[in-house]
Amino acid sequence: MTLLTRKRFLRTAGAAAFGAAVPNTLPAQSQSPMAESPMAQPPMVRKPIPRSPNGETMPVIGLGTNRYKDPGNAAETAQRMDVIRTLLDAGGSVIDTAEGYGQSEAVLGELFTRMGNRDQVFIATKVSERGRDNGIETMEKSFRELQTNVIDLMMVHNLRNDDVHLPTMLEWKAAGRFRYVGVSHFLSWFQSGVIPVMETGNLDFIQIKYSIDMRGAEKRILPVAQDLGVAVMINVPLGRGSLLEDVEGQSVPEWAREELGCKTFAQLLLKFVISHPAVTVTIPGTTKAKHMADNVVAGQGPLADAKQRARIAAIWD
Ligand SMILES: NC(=O)c1ccc[n+]([C@@H]2O[C@H](COP(=O)([O-])OP(=O)(O)OC[C@H]3O[C@@H](n4cnc5c(N)ncnc54)[C@H](OP(=O)(O)O)[C@@H]3O)[C@@H](O)[C@H]2O)c1
């Protein structure tokens, strides 16, 4: 049954394919919509990074920080530390930033140093400058701002000058400065451009947009990534928050609570995304610890199978 009273404006055509069934990797354990104390939380589901040389896996829920643009005041700093602590306490580790997100890299670098937790974080960032020398300069700046010698994942932001930046990135990966390299895009109608770059065999990760109302990636990009063994990081999984407005005042269906342990619509939207077999991790953006605590629950308990994913999608259709 469709619960929506207001249809979303943007819809992706041909969104019928929901991917193959995903095995339920963990039993549902959480009865709370919010994360409880670290001790009480069930483990977060992890997925393999296909090109990892040593079988590395990654927790499925991360954090996006494109609104950590300026240093902020003391209260904001405390809130951001709470967000990061909540993610790490729940077994998460992936934090996404970019040279293009104002001072987000510097803000994070300062927080990691103050909290002493850089080694618990998988940091992903991006280069977007035009030209080889500008790219090198800003990637060097990323190391300085993030206060680290190794960046876990460096991506070309929105495919800007990828042919120019990737040779440097591969060189620095070989030198151990980056652990993985990739490319990102967030506009659905441009992101098929990641396919030929994946086909070069040089990418460990792609970062693309995929959400319940934007399912175009199911047609080609996600199957190609899966075939080629490229890890997939999903940005904008909550439609920048608008998907939650669609269901304001409504209740999560009983079956989703019972079968998937999802008590909130944010958890259901994230569960839909991470349950696609090609998806490795998603990075919902939040500035609030209570939202981070909500989001990590999506990474606990069983993933949704194809039938359950279709039932989640029907809520927003
Ligand atoms: N590669 C690219 O070109 C590209 C482009 C766009 C974004 N990104 C990355 O993807 C990340 C995610 O995208 P996004 O932040 O734009 O969109 P999003 O994750 O779809 O949505 C973020 C919005 O949802 C709210 N929110 C988060 N969790 C919530 C919860 N549990 N309950 C209620 N509201 C919740 C946030 O507000 P609160 O702060 O109030 O929680 C924020 O307004 C970005 O931070 C960035 O790292 C990459």
Q: Identify whether the C-beta of residue 174 lies closer than 8 Å to the C-beta of residue 204.
A: no
For residue 151, report the phi and psi dihedrals to the nearest 5 degrees: -105, 130
Q: For the chain, state the CA radius of gyration.
A: 19
- Picking from 307, 299, 312, the residue whose alpha carbon sits closest to that of residue 26 is 299
Q: How far apart are CA 49 and CA 94, in angstroms?
A: 13
Does residue 301 have a pLDDT over 50?
yes
Which of 23-32, 149-158, 213-222 is predicted least confidently? 23-32
For 38-316, CATH gives: 3.20.20.100
Residues with Cβ < 8 Å from 112, sequence gap 6 or more?
A: 118, 121, 146, 147, 148
pLDDT the model gives residue 10? 32
Q: Mean pLDDT over residues 60-67, rounded?
A: 98
Is residue 192 very low, low, confident or very high in pLDDT (cuts 50, 70, 90)? confident
pLDDT tens for each residue of 236-292: 999 999 999 999 999 999 999 999 999 999 999 999 999 999 999 999 999 999 999
Ligand 1 pocket residue status of 65, Cβ below 6 Å: yes
Does residue 3 have a pLDDT over 70?
no
Q: Mean pLDDT over residues 143-152, rounded?
A: 98
pLDDT tens for each residue of 165-191: 999 999 999 999 999 999 999 887 788
CA 309, distance to chain mean position in Å, is 18
Q: How far apart are CA 95 and CA 90, in angstroms?
A: 14
Ligand 1 pocket residue status of 125, Cβ below 6 Å: no
Cα 241 to ligand 1 centre (Å): 7
Bridge partners (DSSP) of residue 147 are none
Is residue 14 very low, low, confident or very high in pLDDT (cuts 50, 70, 90)? very low
Q: Mean pLDDT over residues 64-89, rounded?
A: 97
Atom index in ligand 1 nearest the CA of residue 67 equals 45
Cα 304 to ligand 1 centre (Å): 22
**What does the longest C-alpha to C-alpha distance in the chain come to?**
55
Atom index in ligand 1 nearest the CA of residue 295 equals 31
pLDDT the model gives residue 181? 98
